[in-house]
């Protein structure tokens, strides 16, 4: 079973939970599509609603994750023969674990794989890649950004694009291999080469390593690499 997945959440804090999930499951040429609003007892913040367009009124009578069709489907296919594909899939998996589900199969992260295979991209967000790589040409219906099922569809299209570059086992391998980034993707040095900043603003990079506890692991790896190798 090949499972493409995306979740939307009530916010981005530790206390936040899933509020919707989109799943596309493919096996033996058959496709199963699931979209479900989820109520884990956590109110959704206005900031989150402004992105995913889900409101507390919409969640009022919705089931908990473990009572949903999505949970039943994932549980049925939670084995080593299944592959789960997501964009920044670590986030999705962490949110699923908060709701009592831990995936046992193979995992592919299209975010990290794209950074490995197409490093020349200026950005790596799902929506940017949707247009940069012209994935929208494969869309058969109108998709809405930050709708869990729409995003799962874009993940599927991105996966198929990456599959033309490298085989599935290579995508799985790259999903857990750290990426040596060349540029900053955010902050005051956005767009600048990390190697260049390591030579003229070394103190700032050292500050980032010591003070930003939730620093992206690929960025942490890259900063450490350039600080170590550039004198």
Mapping DSSP to helix (H, G, I), strand (E, B) and coil, where does residue 83 land? strand
For domain 2-174, give the CATH superfamily.
Ribonuclease H-like superfamily/Ribonuclease H (3.30.420.10)
Q: pTM higher than 0.95 for the full model? A: no
pLDDT greater than 80 at residue 224: yes
The predicted structure's pLDDT at residue 231: 61
Mapping DSSP to helix (H, G, I), strand (E, B) and coil, where does residue 122 land? coil
State the pLDDT confidence band at 47, using cuts at 50, 70 and 90.
very high
Write the burial class of residue 163 (CB in 10 Å: 0-12 exposed, 13-18 middle, 19+ buried).
middle
pLDDT digits (tens, 9 = 90+) for 50-94: 999 999 999 999 999 999 999 999 999 999 999 999 999 999 999
For residues 45 and 170, the model is more confident at 170
Phi/psi of residue 165, nearest 5 degrees? -100, -40
Question: How does DSSP assign 19-30, residue by residue?
Answer: EEEEEEEEETTE
pLDDT greater than 70 at residue 2: yes
pLDDT greater than 70 at residue 6: yes
- Per domain, the residue ranges of the chain are 2-174, 178-231
> Where do the H-state alpha helices sit in the chain?
46-52, 56-59, 69-76, 89-98, 110-117, 126-132, 148-163, 168-174, 194-200, 202-211, 217-229
- Residue 67 backbone zone (phi > 0: left; psi -120 to 50: alpha; other: beta): alpha
pLDDT digits (tens, 9 = 90+) for 95-118: 999 999 999 999 999 999 999 999
From CA 117, how far away is CA 129, in angstroms rounded? 13
Phi/psi of residue 223, nearest 5 degrees? -60, -45
pLDDT digits (tens, 9 = 90+) for 170-214: 999 999 999 999 988 888 888 899 999 999 899 999 999 999 988
pLDDT greater than 70 at residue 142: yes
């Amino acid at each position: 079973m090949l499972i493409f997945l995306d979740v939307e959440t009530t916010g981005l804090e530790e206390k936040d939970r899933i509020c919707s999930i989109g799943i596309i499951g493919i096996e033996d040429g058959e496709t199963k599509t699931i979209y479900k609003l989820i109520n884990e007892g956590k109110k959704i913040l206005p900031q989150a609603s402004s992105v995913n367009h889900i409101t507390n009124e919409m969640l009022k009578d919705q089931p908990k994750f473990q009572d949903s069709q999505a949970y039943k489907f994932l549980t049925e296919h939670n084995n080593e023969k299944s592959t789960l594909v997501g964009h920044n899939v670590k986030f999705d998996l962490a949110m699923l674990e908060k709701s009592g589900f831990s995936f046992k199969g193979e995992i592919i992260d299209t975010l990290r794989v794209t950074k490995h295979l197409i490093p020349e991209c200026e950005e790596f967000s799902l929506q940017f890649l949707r247009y940069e790589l012209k994935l929208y040409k494969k869309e058969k219906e109108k998709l809405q950004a930050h709708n869990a099922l729409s995003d799962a569809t874009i993940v599927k299209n991105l996966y198929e694009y990456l599959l033309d570059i490298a085989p599935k086992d290579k995508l799985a391998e790259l999903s857990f291999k750290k990426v040596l980034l060349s540029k900053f993707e955010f902050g005051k040095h956005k767009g600048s080469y990390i190697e260049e900043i390591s030579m003229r603003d070394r103190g700032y990079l050292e500050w980032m390593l010591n003070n930003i506890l939730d620093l992206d692991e690929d960025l942490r790896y890259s900063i450490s690499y350039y600080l170590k190798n550039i004198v």
